[in-house]
């Protein structure tokens, strides 16, 4: 995702001032622009998050779950707004996120697609509007290398259902090939069905969504946000 973020940043009128990678990454020391297949940026890929934070107005994190807590803490200490797109976060990180959101604008998004943000809103509305005897099933499919299952997006869709109604939600998972990401939510009634879904065909949508989120987040007050806030559709009554 780092390459896609750097490649898309210019088109979004965003200046890249730092790119962080793990110590064992072959990208460390390379020019970030050349790594991403665009023009030279004069910004070297480094392992030093602290140095990058001193120059950054907002941080986007697509790393690994075991790095998330440290990244959140460092951003909070530096008062740097953070878009956290890492999936598979440990359950006990919620306390860290709550503490950070007191100090910084924090947007947590297991999926930074604008379309998925809209899907979450539609799912919550459908869950609230439909009778309780409609069963709910969520299916997701991703490439064979994706580790977490169900995906963070599927779990977020499950939370959207639970925000609209009580009841059990069934999950189905497929891992195979090079599927970018597919999610569907089925409300199954007697004699009828309502289906809502999203299909990603290009991983660049996640980079573009994260960059749009970062631009929006930089102007917000400390607090916890989601991609639905970026679209202005965070809740229903």
Q: What's the rounded Cα separation, in Å, for the pair 100 and 109? A: 15
For residue 201, the SS3 value is coil
Would you say 183 and 197 are in contact if contact means Cβ atoms under 8 Å apart? yes
Q: What's the rounded Cα separation, in Å, for the pair 131 and 189? A: 9
Would you say 19 and 55 are in contact if contact means Cβ atoms under 8 Å apart? no
Nearest of 73, 78, 77, 109 to residue 93 by alpha carbon: 73
Residue partners of 19: CB distance under 8 A and separation at least 6: 2, 6, 27, 32, 35, 43, 44, 45, 46, 52
Q: Which of 142, 143, 147, 198 is catalytic?
A: 142
Q: What's the rounded Cα separation, in Å, for the pair 129 and 34? A: 50
Q: Which of 24, 71, 128, 146 is catalytic?
A: 146
Please indicate whether residue 146 is annotated as part of the active site.
Answer: yes
Nearest of 202, 207, 223 to residue 14 by alpha carbon: 207
14's tokens: 């965003």
Q: What is the CA angle 226-67-105, rounded to 5?
A: 30
> Annotated catalytic sites, by residue?
142, 146
């Amino acid at each position: 995702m780092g390459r896609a973020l750097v490649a898309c940043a210019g088109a979004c009128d965003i200046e890249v001032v730092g790119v962080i990678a793990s110590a064992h990454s072959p990208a460390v020391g390379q020019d970030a622009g050349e790594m991403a297949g665009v023009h030279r940026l004069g910004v070297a890929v480094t392992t030093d998050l602290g140095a990058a934070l001193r120059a950054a107005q907002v941080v986007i994190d697509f790393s690994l779950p075991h790095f998330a807590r440290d990244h959140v803490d460092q951003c909070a200490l530096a008062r740097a707004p953070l878009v956290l797109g890492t999936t598979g976060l440990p359950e006990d990180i919620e306390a860290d996120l709550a503490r950070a959101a007191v100090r910084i604008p924090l947007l947590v998004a297991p999926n930074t697609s604008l379309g998925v943000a809209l899907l979450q809103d539609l799912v919550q509305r459908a869950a609230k509007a439909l009778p309780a005897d409609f069963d709910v099933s969520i299916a997701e499919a991703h490439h064979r290398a994706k580790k977490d299952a169900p995906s963070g997006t599927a779990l977020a869709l499950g939370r959207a259902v639970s925000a609209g109604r009580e009841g059990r939600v069934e999950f189905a998972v497929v891992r195979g090939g090079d599927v970018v990401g597919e999610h569907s939510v089925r409300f199954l009634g007697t004699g009828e069905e309502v289906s809502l879904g999203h299909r990603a065909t290009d991983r660049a949508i996640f980079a573009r969504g994260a960059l749009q989120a970062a631009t929006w987040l930089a102007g917000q007050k400390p607090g916890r946000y989601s991609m639905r806030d970026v679209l202005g559709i965070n809740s229903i009554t």
